[in-house]
Structure 1
Amino acid sequence: MEENHALASIGRQAKAIPTSREVTARRVPATGGPVQEVARLVAIEAPVGLVYGFQPYAVMMTTPADLEDFAIGFSLTEGIIRSPVDIRGLSVEEGADGMTVTIDLVPDRLHALLANRRLRNTVGRTGCGVCGVEELAALPLAERRGGQGEAIAPEAIHRALEALAGGQPLNAATRAVHAAAWAGSDGELRLLREDVGRHNALDKLIGALLRSGTDPAEGFIVITSRLSFEMVEKAAAFGAGTLVAISAPTSLALDRARRHGMTLVAIAREDGHMVFVEPESHLA
């Protein structure tokens, strides 16, 4: 990974934004009995606008934390930047209606974005990976990246899955958010990000990995959601060689994984996992 002093100097959000709030609900037993009022924490879902220079690009519904990581990862997986050095800096501002992240691009990438005119022009909902894309030809397709790393041992995958739940404090409190984690080749979790949107969680993780200068060949990604094609594309944009999901894959996810030479592991649970796609070089 190329070192980027601008990214290294970007701090965390100056003001801590709440990621959950307490509400009151009524618990109604299925078999009868008294109705009880209970306090529950719910995950906060807030609009975050992404602006490049002075050009608004998209409004995404996110958990308002780790927004610097989100903006950097989103920029890479959207194809707006090709590497971290394309970002000169960014700022996060809180407004009455939500958050705005302004990303300062190097001139050639900003000019390419404006010339391409591929702007979302819509709100990206929490479950949406391609909201605002108007043509089939504009569906995400990551650039091919060399060096997919070595095969990940089944024991490492199991170790990462065992540690996953303990690294999700917001989900433990609300039961409403997804996680994306980076594990070393030994299965030890190194980084984890949470968000109400599965795509946002993965973008946040990728942004954090870019900022830390992590080598994609030294580990694998684990996600707590279903494995659709855009999750594969985001992982491929970072250069990950293995993507593990606790839920099932879609057909297009399998097709894209083959195209990128990526190992795709899904339905990964405590009692085992299923390998759906694997490069020939990893087969015994």
Structure 2
Amino acid sequence: MNAKRPACAAPALETPAPAASQTYSYSDLPREESASTALAEEVALAIAYNGISQAVMLVTPTDLEDFIVGFSLGSGIIEDATDIYDLQLTGAGSAQYAQVTIANRAFWNLKQQRRQLAGTSGCGLCGVEAVEQALPDLQVLAGAPLPPIEWLDGLRQRIGAFQPLGQHCGAVHAAVFMNASGELLLGREDIGRHNALDKLIGGLIRQKISTAGGLAIVTSRCSLELIQKVLRAGIQTLVSLSAPTGLAVQWARRHNLNLIHLPQKSAPRVYSPAMENQA
């Protein structure tokens, strides 16, 4: 690995930040002076697979194709991007619809999952049988060396170039990919931390960007669901700007995932089999 601090590639912005934001007026207290500010927008996206409704997600209305591909893979609905045969987006305003055609094998697996679901909530799955889906049996990664510490130097500041919406109005999370040369290549934003990572994974797949030797960076706290998404995507290292949960660390170690927490004012904290092997 090249230990030099890598240059930050200029992000390719497919959608200007204002497209996902609107200006709203407000009044200051207690003087009640009027002003205006830009706020991030969100829409309801209803996703159906082979004509059967599966989920309604609140998302930032950018990179929706990336989100659907990443959501389908990260949720275990498909095993590979080739399982998606067609993707059609319709709707306008705050109501958007996605019709996704998937392979018969993937659709059969999805129907089996649906029979076991008692319901869903904002915090995850509920119902006794659904626990098995919240804690799925995922493939253990082959394991990878830790990235050079130089790659993490100034990372909080450098990923700002991939957060145009966040810089414009705040209120959104970001997920960014760094390749095997330490170059920041791709970033995605969303009001939902899971959604941002889904968009990033979908973008990597749709743009045919190799994840070998690279790492994903998330600006949000790192919980189990994010670990599961990067495991399914085959990404070997995850860097989180906020602390991981205990269960996230347990799963990272069990599945040979390099998990690195990048605190704001202290050295990177490594929760990884790679670190233990080097000890």
TM-score range, shorter chain: 0.7 to 0.9
| Matched residue, 2:5 | none
In 1, the alpha carbon distance for the partners of 2:171 and 2:208 equals 30
Question: Aligned-pair distance for 1:280?
Answer: 5.5
| Matched residue, 1:63 | 60
In 1, the alpha carbon distance for the partners of 2:58 and 2:120 equals 7
Stretch moving more, 53-62 or 90-99:
90-99
Q: What per-residue deviation string (whole Å, max 9, x for no partner) do you get for residues 97-150 of structure 1?
A: 51111111012211222233258787765xx5x256763222043621544433
**2:257 maps to 1:249:** no
Q: What per-residue deviation string (whole Å, max 9, x for no partner) do you get for residues 208-263 of structure 1?
A: 11112233223100000001111111111101111111111111000110111011
The one of 31, 36, 46 equivalent to 1:39 is 36
The change in CA–CA distance for 1:249 and 1:276 in structure 2 (over 3 A counts) is same
AA of the residue aligned to 2:75: E
AA of the residue aligned to 2:193: R
**2:233 maps to 1:238:** yes
| Matched residue, 2:200 | 205
| Matched residue, 1:6 | none
Q: What per-residue deviation string (whole Å, max 9, x for no partner) do you get for residues 159-201 of structure 1?
A: 5433111211101111100000001234321000000000000
SS in 2 for 1:194: strand
Question: How many residues of Structure 1 are paired with residues of Structure 2 in the alignment?
Answer: 264
Stretch moving more, 158-167 or 102-111:
158-167
Higher normalized contact order (CA 8 Å, seq sep 6+, divided by chain length): 2
| Matched residue, 2:9 | none
CA RMSD in angstroms comes to: 2.7
| Matched residue, 1:23 | 24
Structure 2 length normalisation: TM-score?
0.85
AA of the residue aligned to 2:236: G
Structure 1 length normalisation: TM-score?
0.83
CA contact (8 A) 2:179 2:211 kept: no
The change in CA–CA distance for 1:262 and 1:276 in structure 2 (over 3 A counts) is same
SS in 2 for 1:279: helix
| Matched residue, 1:169 | 164
| Matched residue, 1:184 | 179
| Matched residue, 2:91 | 94
SS in 1 for 2:212: helix
Question: Aligned-pair distance for 1:96?
Answer: 6.3
Gaps of 5+ in 1: 1-12
Percent of pairs with identical residues = 32
Runs of 4+ in structure 1 displaced over 6 angstroms? Answer: 119-124
AA of the residue aligned to 2:250: D
